[in-house]
Amino acid sequence: MFVLVFLCAASVLFVSLHVHCKLAVFARAPAESAAAAFEIGLLSIAPHALSMPVETLIRKLGLSATSARALSSHPSPEGTMLQLTYACENNDADTLARYAQQLDIPLHQISVSYLDALITASALDAALH
């Protein structure tokens, strides 16, 4: 049972990571921003998975200021991208549209990115079984 739960969580996490990276590219962000988006996406689930406050995680891992701001909900472009990803995952169209507008990312690009992420996660899940 633990393995099944882990694989499901890994698939969901992979979708989130993939969307973060795609959105960074579509926002024409520099490579550093894409790397930060990847790290933020990866670590966004860690506080819940580890039952650890986000501030403790930030301190123990010595995260960059960019990642720390995004994960602790301080205003930043990366934090906005994280919130946009949460809106995708929660099918919250109004919030999604608001963050997409803030980031100047066309909604159709977000849809394409999210579908691509779902396909990739499904293929990964199939490969692991």
Q: Which tens digit of pLDDT belongs to each residue from 96-127?
A: 999 989 988 888 888 888 777 778 777 777 88
* Domain spans in the chain, listed from the N-terminal domain onward: 2-33+51-124
Q: What is the pLDDT of residue 29?
A: 63
**Average confidence (pLDDT) over 31-49:** 79
pLDDT at 110: 84
**DSSP 8-state secondary structure symbol assigned to residue 125:** H
Alpha carbon distance 100, 107 (integer Å): 7
Residue 105's SS3 state is: coil
Q: Which letter does DSSP use for residue 75 in this model?
A: S
Phi-psi region of 76 (alpha: psi -120 to 50; beta: other; left: phi over 0): beta
Contact assessment for residue 55 and residue 99, using Cβ atoms and an 8 Å cutoff: no
Strands (E), 1-129: none
